[in-house]
Amino acid sequence: MKLPNIDKQYLIEFLTGLLNTPSPTGFTQQAIHFTELALREFPEIELSKTRKGALAATFPGQRADAPRALTAHVDTLGAMVKEIKANGRLKLSKIGGYAWNTVEGEGCTIFSSRGESQRGALLLTRASSHVFSTQVNELKREDENMEVRLDVRTNSVAETRSLGIEVGDFVAFDPRVEVVHGFVRSRDLDDKSGVACLLAAVKAMHDAGQQPIQTSTILFSNYEEVGHGAASGIPVNVAELLTVDMAAIGEGQASDEFHATLCVKDSGGPYHYDLNQRLRKLAEEHRIAYKVDIYPYYGSDGEAFWRAGGDVAIALIGPGVDASHSYERTHMDALVATTQWLLAFLLSE
Ligand SMILES: [Zn+2]
C-alpha cells in the first residue's frame, strides 16, 4: 500500500500560522480556533470542544471495533504577570518548565483582561553592562532578577495599571519564525510541529479520498506543558493512543532534525511494547526515516492519560526538535517523516 501524498506547502503554511498565534498554557483559545478553522475545510471531520477547552476532531473510519486516538498539544511555554513593580515594569511567573535565559532579551506580548495587548521585552533587572559591569554575567537568572520592560511610557504601578495591565495577565514570548533551506527555526515547535503534522495527515487523506481503517479521534490538547493536557478528552472506548510530540535532540541522543523518532521511554517510564513494535514495522514497510530514542527529562500527554486511568496502548512519535524549550529548530524532513508515520498508522489494520 502506498501512502497518500503530503502537501508540504500546506504543512509549512499551517505551521507558520499556528506558530504566530500566541498560546501559552491557559490562554490557548486563539490557537484552538486557528486549528478548528483549518479542520473545517474537511467536511468528513466531526469537530467538538471539551469543557476544558481542547479540540477533538473525529475522523470516521471504515470500522469502529477498536477505535484509535491521536493527540498533540497547542499550548506552549509562557508566563503570567506576577507583580507590577514600583518602577512600572513587570515581574513574571513562568508557565511550564524552562530556564529564564532561554527567553532573556526576547520580545513579548502582554494580554490584558480588558482584551488589549501591550508589547515589551524580557530583560535582566541589571541589563546594562555600562552600568552593572560583571553583574550582567553573574546575576542568577531567577524570577527576582527578570522583568518586562514595557514599550509604553510608565514609571509607576499606577501608570502600568492604567494600561489595563494587572496581575494574572498572560505573557507570550515572540516565536521569531523563520524558514530557511528546509529548516524551521522558531520557539514553540514543541508541539506546534506535531499539530501541523496531524493537520497535514488529515489533508493528505482528504485529498486522496481515503478514510482511516478505524474511527480515529484527534485531541488537540491545551494543558500539556503543565502536565495534565490529555488527562481528559480521549474517548474512553479507544484501544490505542498515539501521542505526537517533539523528539529531544542533544549529546547522547539518537534523535535528529531529519527523522521522526519513536520514544520508547521517558521520565514516565516505557511506552507500550506491542504498539511500539507495530510502529517500527510500519516505518520499515513504508521506508519512513525514523529513529528510536529515550528522553531523560520529558513527560507526555500520553502519560497524562495513563495516569488519569486511561486503559489503552500508548506510543509516542514526533519530529526531532533541536534546543527544545529554547530557540528551537526542526527540518522539513522530520515533519514529513512524522506525517508519513501518522498516515501509515491511520491506514494500518
Ligand atoms: Zn510538548
Sequence-distant contacts of 174-182: CB under 8 A, at least 24 apart:
174/106, 174/107, 174/108, 174/109, 175/19, 175/20, 176/106, 176/327, 177/16, 177/19, 177/20, 179/12, 179/16, 182/331, 182/332, 182/333
- Tell me the Ramachandran region of residue 247: left when phi exceeds 0, alpha when psi lies from -120 to 50, beta otherwise: beta
Identify residue 137 by its one-letter amino acid code.
N
- Cβ atoms of 198 and 218 within 8 Å: the answer is yes
Q: How remote is the CA of residue 298 from the centroid of ligand 1, in Å?
A: 9
Q: How remote is the CA of residue 162 from the centroid of ligand 1, in Å?
A: 36
Q: Please, what is the average pLDDT of the chain? A: 98
Cell of 122: 524580557
State how far the Cα of 213 lies from the Cα of 348, in Å rounded to an integer: 6
SS3 262: strand
Could you tell me which residues are beta bridge partners of residue 188? Answer: none
Q: How remote is the CA of residue 198 from the centroid of ligand 1, in Å?
A: 14
State how far the Cα of 97 lies from the Cα of 61, in Å rounded to an integer: 37
- Single out the catalytic residue among 36, 46, 116, 224: 224
Nearest CA-CA partner of 318 in 296, 286, 346, 290: 290
Cell of 273: 511494547
Residue 158 neighbours by CB distance under 10 Å: 10
Q: How remote is the CA of residue 78 from the centroid of ligand 1, in Å?
A: 13
Q: How remote is the CA of residue 227 from the centroid of ligand 1, in Å?
A: 10
Q: How remote is the CA of residue 122 from the centroid of ligand 1, in Å?
A: 23
Distances from the Cα of 274 to the Cα of 23, 108, 269, 333, angstroms: 35, 44, 15, 26
State how far the Cα of 28 lies from the Cα of 51, in Å rounded to an integer: 13
> What's the predicted TM-score (pTM) here?
0.98
CA of residue 67 relative to chain centroid, distance: 24
Q: How remote is the CA of residue 79 from the centroid of ligand 1, in Å?
A: 16
Identify residue 16 by its one-letter amino acid code.
T
Residues in contact with 275: Cβ distance below 8 Å, sequence separation at least 6, in sequence order: 240, 242, 313, 314, 315
**224 given a catalytic annotation:** yes
pLDDT < 70 stretches in the chain: none
Q: What is the per-residue pLDDT for 1?
A: 82
Q: How remote is the CA of residue 65 from the centroid of ligand 1, in Å?
A: 30
